Structure formats: structure tokens, C-alpha cells
Amino acid sequence: MSLSVTHVLIGLNVAAWLLNIAFGVDPLSPTPQDLFDWGASHVLANAEQPWRLLSSTFLHVGLLHLAVNMQALWVAGPIADAMLGRWQFLMIYLCAGVFGGLAAMVGAQPSTVLVGASGAVFGTMGAIAAGVFRHGDRLRQEVVASLKRLLWSFVAINLLIGFMLPGVSNSAHLGGLVSGFGLSYGLAAPGSPPHEIRLRGTLILGLALGLLWGFFHWLTISGASGR
């Protein structure tokens, strides 16, 4: 049995948490400095170290944070993989994670430390929503109904948690959700000819990178002018 993209992503997230523990980071409540040292997104540091926007998506504020995100990925990942194919799913996951990280920076305090896979997981849900919206007529109605229940319940519960608990960024959630939906909407439909899948995938990747660069540039310029 070959490893799926979902298995690999969960494995990387868990491995990052275990590696943190091995080097003395508290497994349940790491400090902001610990997270920063391991590559957390940071409003000021990101301008010089943009790689933090990606590395931060594999870090979590303790075991509970990790478990919640990985459980959601375990459920949603195989569905998105089946709809998009493994490489397109991986592209959407990573791009949505970075978009979510950028969205979380909007209005954040300069010293804010940001971590977590929730933007990427919301992007995965956005990808599923795009698939249902575009290709729902190809699926059995009971499958469509089940997917809609999954999407609505996941989004509603997690946004509610974001409003109730301090330190949870609904900006990251919405940034991941919208980017995952928008980017996936332009991808080739399942079963399309391979050349169409490659062409659309390449164009969407180029669009995503361009938007990410523009968003990042705007945020860093805005942050510099606001200091």
C-alpha cells in the first residue's frame, strides 16, 4: 500500500511536533519564543524570512492543536485527493496554507507569532467545496449531501471556535478557505486528458505564486509604512 499525500502531510506535522519535543519544547504548551525558533510565522520577521509562512504550517501550539488539525485533514484529505489528484491536492494544500498565513498577518500585532495547519486544512475544505460546486452533477446525490454537511459543519464549528477562543485566527481560516476554493475552481475536472490537467495545473500554480508574491509584497510594504 503506497503512502497517500494525506499520510505524508500528517506524518510531517507529527514529525515536526516530535522533533520539537526531542529538543526540549513543551509538548502541550510551547512558548512563543520556542515556536519562533522553530520557524513560526512572525509579522516582522516574515519580511526578511518569507519561508516562515510555509514552515509555520507544520508547527502547532501543543498536542491538542495538532490533533484537531490532523483529524480534520485525515477526513478531508482523501476526499480532496480523489477529486484533484495527489499533486494538485498537494499544491492547493501548501498554497492555501501560505495564503492563510498571509491573511492572518492582516491587522495582527507586529510581535504576533502564528503557527498551525488550519489555513491549509480550510483550503482543503475549499477545494472540496469547489469540486462539489463544479462537478456535483457527476456524483450521487447522497454523496453530495454528505459532503455539504461535512463542509458546513466544519466551517461553522471552526469559525465559532475562532470567535470564542483567543489566539485562534479566523483570518487564516478564511484566507485558506477562499484560496483553496478559488484555486481549485480553475483546475481540470477529474478524468480530463492528462495534457489539460498539466496545463491548468501549471497555470493555476503560476497564478497562485503571483498572487502570493503580490499579497506578501503589499503586506510587507504596509507594515513598513505603518511602523
Which helix (DSSP H) or strand (DSSP E) does residue 202 occupy? helix 194-226
pLDDT tens-place string over residues 73-126: 999 999 999 989 899 999 999 999 999 999 998 878 888 899 999 999 999 999
Q: Is 111 one of the catalytic residues?
A: no
pLDDT tens per residue, range 208-227: 999 888 888 887 776 544 44
Beta strands in 56-193 (DSSP E): 113-114
42, 60, 65, 173: the catalytic one is 173
User: Which residue in 56, 27, 19, 49 sits closest to 169, CA to CA?
Assistant: 56
- The 10s digit of each residue's pLDDT in 173-216 is 999 999 999 999 988 877 788 888 889 999 999 999 998 888 88
Largest CA distance in the chain: 54
- Structural domain spans, the chain: 5-226
pLDDT digits (tens, 9 = 90+) for 143-157: 888 888 889 888 888
Supply the DSSP symbol for 42: E
In percent, the amount of the chain with pLDDT more than 70 equals 96
Task: Over range 10-16, report the average pLDDT.
Answer: 97
Q: Is 113 helix (H, G, I), strand (E, B) or coil?
A: strand
Backbone angles phi, psi at 42, to 5 degrees: -145, 130
Look over the chain and give the mean of its residue pLDDT values, rounded to a whole number.
89
CATH number of 5-226: 1.20.1540.10
Residues in the chain: 227
Is 173 a catalytic site residue? yes
Q: Which of 41, 56, 118, 171 is catalytic?
A: 118
